Amino acid sequence: MRTLLLAAAPVFLLGGMLATTPSHAATISKVANRNPAGACMLSIPTTDTGVRPKASGFRNEGTVNNFVICNFDVDTDIAGFTKLVVNFVSFDGAAHAFDCTGMDRYAGTATGDYATKSVSITAGGTAYISFLPSDFPSTGLVGWNASVTCTLPPGVSIITVAGYHDDNVGA
C-alpha cells in the first residue's frame, strides 16, 4: 500500500502543478465603429441650431459653431481603449480649424483625464484626430467612459467615430 502511494505521489503533484499553471490568454485588436448619427449629440442642446444627424454624418449646417459630444463603445471586459478616432469632412468647400477635447473617466468617479487637440481641414477635404492612452495619464483610456467633444464649425460633418480595443479570444 505504501509503495502504491509513493508511486502515485509524483502523478498527483504533477497534476496539481499543471492545474495551477496560468494559461496565456490570446487577444485580438478590434474596432467598434459607430455611425455619428447615433454616437454624437449636441453638448449644449438648443432648438435653434443647424446641427443634425444625417445618413452622411453628424453635420453642422447652421451658421455658428456648436459643441458636439460623441461617445465610444467597447465590447470587452479585459481592457480599455487603445485608440479613439473621429473623422471629419468639410462639405461647404471651405477650410476649417477647430479643437476637440477627449475625456476618459472611471465609472465610479465624476472627474477624469482631458486632452485637447486641434483639427485642420483643407477646403473640401477630410481630417481626423486620434487620442491614445498616453494622452490620458491617470486613466490610460481604460476607464471605459470615453468621449470626445468638438467645437463643430458650420460646414463640417463628423463622418466616423471609432473606438479601438483589445479583446480576449482565449488561450
pLDDT, tens digit, 9 for 90 and up, residues 31-52 = 888 889 999 999 887 766 789 9
Q: What is the CATH number of domain 27-169?
A: 2.60.120
Query: Phi then psi for 33, rounded to 5 degrees?
Result: -90, 125
Buried b (16+ CB within 10 A) or exposed e, 57-69: bbbbebeebbebb
Domain ranges of the chain: 27-169
CA 30/CA 84 separation, integer angstroms: 12
What are 74-102's pLDDT values in tens digits? 766 667 889 999 999 999 999 999 999 99
